[in-house]
Structure 1
Amino acid sequence: MNVFDSISARAQVDPPPDSPRLRIAGHDCGWVAHDVQHWLAAFPGEISMEPGTVHLLPELAGAPAAGRTQAVSELLARVAAALYEAGRLNGWRNELLDVVAEDGTVLGVVERASVRPLGIATHAVHLNAWTDSGQLWIAQRSFSKTTDPGMWDTLVGGLVSAAETPESALLRESWEEAGLLPHHLKDGRRSGQFTVRRVLPEGYQVEHVTVVDTVLGPEVVPENQDGEVVALRTVSPEEVLEMVADGVFTLEAALSMKASLGAFAPVSLIVPPAQAPRVSL
């Protein structure tokens, strides 16, 4: 069995059968955790429920984007506040993410801490940075993080915030997590994209991930800036496969490694990132 087989299976899990569809202004947007319905019932007139579906602002289906965006964002802000006050959220991030429906429509913004309980999709970027000798930089997550504390990760990884592009998010995260500047990423190449669907303690995760590879010269030594990384080191592709098999990488990092290492190709047949085609994010 390939080391990535079980990892890939863990990333494609259906939502729990008792999690109803979330539909905002007529657009399918997520899967509501079963217990969260209790707090949503406090918003009659704005939120309605039927078997299998929770409707937010159904009267705005087909409405112009301008008025709809404000109404959706305001309601989701009140929902997030109610869930936080009830102790249902893992803290409060004070960071807004775009609410993007499955059909690609951007409906509004939402507090980051509330996306999993509502099953709203997120978008993330990961950077795999190679040395010119073929090693990969990896980062160990802080033990104080609420998600995957102490596990190993790609050098850079994070969510795309509201109104950001994947490119701007990658530049921001690369500085915060590794002290990298824009010129360090100028030759970056997209190595893959994937989607994670899995059940978490706080709700259902749907995350679309873009993976970018770059090569850092010997004069570049990454240095964490935001305190969310406790260690940085380089490893060989063979070590990466061993670490994936040992389960010490986060799920998203393991799948990002799969993209960068050429998926199921033997290590000896991996195409160096400098030979991969350059594409936009």
Structure 2
Amino acid sequence: MSTCFQKCDIRPFVVEGQQVGLIKSDVLKHLEKYPEVFCIRDCEQTKQGLVELNPAFRDYNERTEQLEKVLRNLRSEGLFPALQGWRDEYFEVKSERRALLKMERAATPLFGVRKYGVDINGYVRHPTHGICIWLQQRSNTKETWPGKWDNMVGGGLSVGFGIKETAIKEAAEEASIPYDLVKNLVSAGCVSFYFESRQGLFPNTEYVFDLELPLDFVPQNSDGEVQAFELLPAKECVERVFTPDFKTTSAPVVIDFLIRHGHITADDGKIGGFYANC
């Protein structure tokens, strides 16, 4: 996905000598108030310098605790829209080798750290309409993307949960899919993208599963986060996913499904326009 930030506006975010994210200048000016937590220094690789979490912090727990104090202060000051969606849900910040700390999910866009999630493409093979895809409409009370159309099932990969475990959990909570159906999940790889909004930076990687469902199965929400489900023929799904009514950060997963099943081709010209308008 396209973004509009300039190189002069961002600095690498470093933990334990590893770059784990990017910080924009509008965030940096507030982090500068915490020199005991963040070291802002020059860097040979970037003229803008970098932001490093204090290397004196000894381990995962201390890094998490010190960062959490700052985030709670920033939240109480009402400085960032992203922090108004505070969830008390944690994502791990990782280097290539190990987890370095955990961070409140709502804060991750401020630091441009990669988030991982799980998505399930639920579909049926209809005798008349061919492949039809289940979509959900998010609740109007959701902190993020309220009322937008979305993939049938999706959720973030929180601390303490595995990929398949998250898929099974979200399938039950969001769509009441029983285990005797969800056990048939088929891994479809990963979809990665980079997105920017007023909340911050979103380098996302989604673990994708396909799930063929019986014709008579109708998803039912059980956690209050979905207001409706709709089963669409693939052709109608192609039209829906490219509209502003669809959640931007879920669209790539549905587009990937439609490409893999031959419903979007290179000749369609839709994908280029979608990413240009993000």
Q: Is the 8 A contact 1:39 1:82 kept in 2?
A: no
Alignment pair present for 1:106 and 2:99: yes
Q: Which residue of 1 aligns with 2:224?
A: 227
Q: For structure 1, which runs of at least 5 residues remain unmatched after alignment?
A: 1-10, 61-66, 269-281
Q: Which residue of 1 aligns with 2:256?
A: 259
Describe how 1:2-41 pairs up with structure 2 within 5 A.
Answer: 11-13=1-3, 15-17=5-7, 18-41=9-32
Q: Which residue of 1 aligns with 2:110?
A: 117
* In structure 2, C-alpha distance between the alignment counterparts of 1:143 and 1:266, rounded to whole Å: 30
User: How much does 1:59 deviate?
Assistant: 4.1
Q: Which residue of 2 aligns with 1:271?
A: none
Q: Which residue of 2 aligns with 1:273?
A: none
Q: Is the 8 A contact 2:20 2:114 kept in 1?
A: yes
214-223 vs 201-210, which moves further: 214-223
Question: What amino acid is aligned across from residue 127 of structure 1 in structure 2?
Answer: I
User: How much does 1:242 deviate?
Assistant: 1.3
Aligned in 2, Cα 1:76/1:189: closer, same or farther, shift over 3 Å? same
Count residues in correspondence: 251
User: Percent identity, aligned pairs only?
Assistant: 27
Q: Is the 8 A contact 1:124 1:208 kept in 2?
A: yes
Query: Where do 4+ consecutive residues of structure 1 move more than 4 Å?
Result: none
Q: Is the 8 A contact 2:234 2:263 kept in 1?
A: no
Q: Which residue of 2 aligns with 1:92?
A: 86
- Asked which structure has the greater RCO (Cα within 8 Å, sep 6+), the reply is 1
* In structure 2, C-alpha distance between the alignment counterparts of 1:77 and 1:245, rounded to whole Å: 37
* In structure 1, C-alpha distance between the alignment counterparts of 2:15 and 2:178, rounded to whole Å: 38
User: How much does 1:69 deviate?
Assistant: 0.8
Q: Which residue of 2 aligns with 1:74?
A: 65
Q: For structure 2, which runs of at least 5 residues remain unmatched after alignment?
A: 42-47, 266-278
TM-score, normalising length from structure 2? 0.83
Q: Is the 8 A contact 1:139 1:232 kept in 2?
A: yes
**Aligned pair partner of 1:130 in 117, 123, 130:** 123
Q: Is the 8 A contact 2:93 2:100 kept in 1?
A: yes
Question: What amino acid is aligned across from residue 73 of structure 1 in structure 2?
Answer: T
Alignment pair present for 1:172 and 2:169: yes
The structure richer in strand per residue is 2
SS in 2 for 1:192: strand
User: How much does 1:179 deviate?
Assistant: 1.1
216-225 vs 170-179, which moves further: 216-225
* Superimposed CA distance per residue, residues 8-31 of structure 1 (whole angstroms, 9 cap, x where no aligned partner): xxx243754312111112111111
